[in-house]
Amino acid sequence: MDQFDHPFFAPPWRRYATVAVCILWGLFELWNGTVLWGILFLCIGMFAQRQFGLVDWSKYDAGE
């Protein structure tokens, strides 16, 4: 699960966009009545938010 600690996600907007897309897609799926896919994407978004919060992003700030 160390894939979240990647330089690609160093800019905060990429982390926010990743989580937002997953959550919004999950809500879209729920709105369309596909509960399984909605719950799946909501869980992926929540998991990504949690994992991004555990990473020490200050090590990438020094490289800027």
Assess contact for 29 and 38: CB atoms under 8 A. yes
Q: Is residue 19 over pLDDT 60?
A: yes
Q: Calculate the average pLDDT of the chain.
A: 91
Q: Is residue 2 over pLDDT 70?
A: no
Q: Is residue 17 over pLDDT 90?
A: yes
Residue bearing the bigger pLDDT, 47 or 2 = 47
pLDDT score at 57: 86
* Rounded mean pLDDT, 3-24: 93
Instruction: Write down the number of H helices and E strands in the chain.
Output: 3, 0
pTM of this structure: 0.86
